[in-house]
A and B are shown apart, each in its own frame.
Chain A
């Protein structure tokens, strides 16, 4: 099942003004798997996701999604192809209700057609959101906001769900819940690209992992393999 490559980056570079952040990142995500990018602060993890979703321009290299080049497309067209980006820090619309935030996730015609089914699915995944449906998103707790952010991503009925630091700033028990949810979504058939600082948890979860350092992929392999890799253990797991 996990044969077909859904997303491939070939030698991608990106820069913020004069500062080059990605120095030729190549990676692949196969359909149905969970891929993770781990690395220290400033390694370029968030920038990699932003380059895929075109929030940051791809300076050179190629990004291929489902066989088509997407490196030159604007963000909204990348989203329309089926890539949902759940950004770092949730980035909800704070003055809108939970429900309005979720509904705004269903922009493409296909997503809009199914939006009432999808919203039920999201509420069954996060029952708490159903209770808070009419509450302003800005008044929710961090964990609830993260649920809305993931829910908004799911509303697009994406083929690839990119999650940027979903565990950031959450209580340990909520973090565990979040990882359970990610596993469950993946079992339901969604391909996931996860960026995390919680290296141990995400390597355990991931089928495939990439270690990013200074804008380059320095290690790649199955998640479990990297968990046992000495270099990874020394650098990220403090062992």
Chain B
């Protein structure tokens, strides 16, 4: 049996049984958190990694998804599951409008514009008190799953994470993936060989934003509380970007590795180093950046295979 298949089977068994291997509520919570960030990092990677459009404003879509689900659940008696569907539905038109405007800008200017957009969304959430509760936020009654059992949530986010990674894998082998990479490598040339670059960037942004909003809606259902400082901070946008970059920009497993390393290590550091945890976290980031400039994925590839893609034929 080939190694890849074996790895795949072991990983599948592990993921399916994980909540029973780790029975404490805390470790189950960490698993859920890791998978949430796998979803977020992979979704961001479609736009930032494949298409090379570095958004530092993805908290906006996360927040929109979280607020949509929370508001729906708190103001109506509809099932919070509908909130999961509502998140992407609300985020999509926002993404298309933002894309139409921000994609006129290139490189660092695009990045700055995404930061501005997410700050605007945060300020709207903070001040539109009738809808969002302002700084007080929105509290939801738990109703998706009875009690406080974390296991069902684990399986929901597992499906989201696996689905997102599978989507990335599918895109990376399709015309869409190649078009996005062409945009990343040389946008002007991509346009001149006949790629409608604006259209493909919008497709990447839409997918990325919709999944991010879906993850936000999950977050609202899981934590049962949403306010601007938890679902819309700039720090969240930055963390998503870090996960993808540290893991390996534009690769499918990159954001997965990044999420596992960064979320696990930040939890471990918090437990063992208390106040010094951010210091250790920062040092880890610097080490990866120094010694693995292509991210964990690039580093592993070089270590294991001598980087196949660079071997001349």
| Residues of chain B within 8 A of A104, CB atoms compared | 178-179, 182, 190, 193, 195
The A contact surface, by secondary structure, is: loop
Contact partner, B189, options A91, A97, A136, A139, Cβ 8 Å? A91
* A66 interface hit (Cβ, 8 Å): no
How far, in Å, is B249 (CB) from chain A's closest CB?
Answer: 11
* Cβ contact within 8 Å between B193 and A107: yes
CB contacts under 8 Å to A, within B258-313, are 309-310, 312-313
Q: What separation, in Å, do the CA atoms of A135 and B182 have in the docked complex? A: 17
* A87 interface hit (Cβ, 8 Å): yes
- Counting chain A CB atoms within 10 Å of each CB, which of B181, B193, B195 scores highest? B193
With both beta carbons as reference points, the residue of chain A lying nearest to B183 in the complex is identified as A93
How many interface residues does chain B have, given as a range?
A: 20 to 34
| Residues of chain A within 8 A of B195, CB atoms compared | 76, 104, 107
* Cβ contact within 8 Å between B192 and A85: yes
Q: What separation, in Å, do the CA atoms of A91 and B185 have in the docked complex? A: 9
| Residues of chain A within 8 A of B149, CB atoms compared | none
* Cβ contact within 8 Å between B193 and A152: yes
* B23 interface hit (Cβ, 8 Å): no
* Cβ contact within 8 Å between A75 and B313: no
Known: A93-B181, A135-B313, A136-B310. A87 touches B189 (CB 8 A): yes
B172-208 CB mask vs A (1 if < 8 Å, else 0) is: 0000001101100110111111111100000000000
Q: What separation, in Å, do the CA atoms of A139 and B193 have in the docked complex? A: 21
* Cβ contact within 8 Å between B185 and A75: no
How far, in Å, is B176 (CB) from chain A's closest CB?
Answer: 12
Q: What separation, in Å, do the CA atoms of A133 and B186 have in the docked complex? A: 20
With both beta carbons as reference points, the residue of chain B lying nearest to A111 in the complex is identified as B194
User: Can you report 5 A-B residue pairs in the complex whose CB atoms are below 8 A from each other?
Assistant: A85-B192, A103-B178, A108-B194, A133-B313, A156-B194
Residues of B within 8 A of A (CB): 178-179, 181-182, 185-186, 188-197, 309-310, 312-313
Cβ-closest 6 pairs across A and B: A79-B194, A107-B194, A75-B191, A93-B185, A91-B189, A76-B196
